[in-house]
Chains A and B, each alone.
Chain A
C-alpha cells in the first residue's frame, strides 16, 4: 500500500510543532476521525481567535525599555487596537508576560516566580535586547537573556525597540496563537489503547481492501 499524504495542520504552524512523518496520525481517516478533525479545526480556530485578540499582559518592567512600553500603550501607538488592552498587575490574570528591560541575576528568581504564577495558556515576549540576550550588559550582574530561565515566544530586538517593532512582535505572536492546534482529547491515550486502535483500523481496512 502506498503511503498516504501526511495530514498538515492548518495555518502557519511553526516548524517545531510540525508532526514528524513517522508518528503522524491516521493513515486513513475513519468517519469519526474526520468528524473529530472538523471539530478540532473549528475549535482551534475559535479558541485561537479569542485568545489572540484578548491578550492581557503582565508588564515586568525593570529598566529603560519601560519608556517605550508606555509609548506603545499610550494613544499614539495604542496597543489596544490589537486586543492587548489591559495590563494586569497580577500575573494570575495575565496571558502575556512582557519582559521589559534588563534582568539581573538577583532578579531572575522573581521573574521565574512571576512566570510560574501565570495561569495557562501563557506566552512570553522579550521586549528589547536586554531581555532577549542581555544586550550590551555583558557583565557579572546581568542574566544573559530571560530565556535562561523561562521559555520565550517572541523576541523583539532593539534598544529600546521602536513601538512599531513591538506591534510587529505582537502580531507575530498573535499569528502563532491563532495557528495553535487544540486537541479534543486532552488526555493522551496510553500506548496499549493506541495499539488496539491501530489493530482495529487495520482489521477494518483489511475487510475493505479484500472485499
Chain B
C-alpha cells in the first residue's frame, strides 16, 4: 500500500529521495534534508497521501552499528558492545531521525528518514506542519543533540537545564552521574515561591511552548 505512496513521491519530488529501504511491507523513504519540509507539507496536504498524523519522531544513534548500508554485516556487531570504540569502527552517517507518519482516513502509513553526519546535525523543523512535532523535536534534541533549525523553543524537555551532554547517544558513559541540582524557580499560579519569569533561573512557564512570551500577570 505504501508502495503507491513512494511511487507518487518519486513522481512529485524526484530529487528528494535518496533510497527506499523498505522492510516487510513497512515502507521507508530516506529523504534529503533540504527537501524535508517540502516533502512533509506535500504528504500532509495532498489528498492522495493525507498523512495528517505524525505519530512519532524517533532518533537513532548507530555509533558502531555496521549495517549493509554503512558497510559490514549486521550480525558482526552483536558480540562487541556498541560503545567499544577501540574494537569497532564508528560509522557515518551516524545519526538517523525517523518520522513515522500515518493516515487515519486512508489507513496507510509511511516512514521518512533522515541520515545525519555527526559533524553537521541540523535539521529544518516541521513544527509548522504538524504541531505535535514540537515536543518530539525537543525530545530528540534533549536525548541526541540534534538541532532543529527554526524550532520556536528548542530547550530540554525531559532532562533539567543543568544537564550536560545527551544521554541517549551511545558514547554517553553508562554509569556517568551528574550532580544533583537545586529547585527550579517557577511561577506558582496561586502564591508561588521563587521570582518567576524574568527572575533567576529558567521559569517553568518558559519550558512550555506558546507560553514563552506570555505576560505572567495575565495568567488566571
Contacts and interface: CB of A to CB of B under 8 A. Distances in A.
Interface stretch (A59-67, A69-77, A108-116, A161-169): A108-116
B130 interface: no
Interface in B156-182: 158-160, 167, 172, 174-178, 180-182
- Looking at A105, A138, A148, the one whose CB has the most chain B CB atoms below 10 A away is A105
B175 A109 contact: no
Interface majority SS (helix, strand, loop, mixed), chain B: loop
B177 A144 contact: yes
A113 B183 CA distance: 9
Contact of B183 (A110, A141, A144): A110
A143 B160 CA distance: 13
B53 interface: no
Nearest to B182: A109
- Looking at A112, A138, A140, A148, the one whose CB has the most chain B CB atoms below 10 A away is A140
Given A105-B160, A106-B159, A106-B160, A138 B180 contact: no
B184 A140 contact: no
A28 interface: no
Contacts, number: 33
A140 B167 CA distance: 7
Contacts of A109: 180-184
Interface in A41-76: none
B175 A138 contact: yes
Interface string B127-139: 0000000000000
A104 to B, nearest CB: 9
A149 B177 CA distance: 15
B159 A143 contact: no
Given A105-B160, A106-B159, A106-B160, A140 B172 contact: yes
Contacts of A106: 158-160, 181
- Looking at B158, B160, B167, the one whose CB has the most chain A CB atoms below 10 A away is B160
Nearest to A144: B177
B216 to A, nearest CB: 21
B218 to A, nearest CB: 26
Interface string B183-210: 1100000000000000000000000000
B180 to A, nearest CB: 6
Nearest to A140: B167
B77 to A, nearest CB: 22
Interface string A119-149: 0000000000000000000111101100011
A138 to B, nearest CB: 7
Contacts of B174: 139
14 contacts: A105-B160, A105-B181, A109-B181, A109-B182, A109-B184, A112-B183, A138-B175, A139-B167, A140-B167, A140-B177, A140-B178, A141-B158, A141-B167, A148-B180
The 5 closest A-B pairs by CB, nearest first: A109-B183, A140-B167, A106-B160, A108-B180, A109-B182
Given A106-B158, A106-B159, 8 more contacts: A108-B180, A108-B181, A109-B181, A138-B175, A140-B172, A140-B177, A141-B158, A144-B177
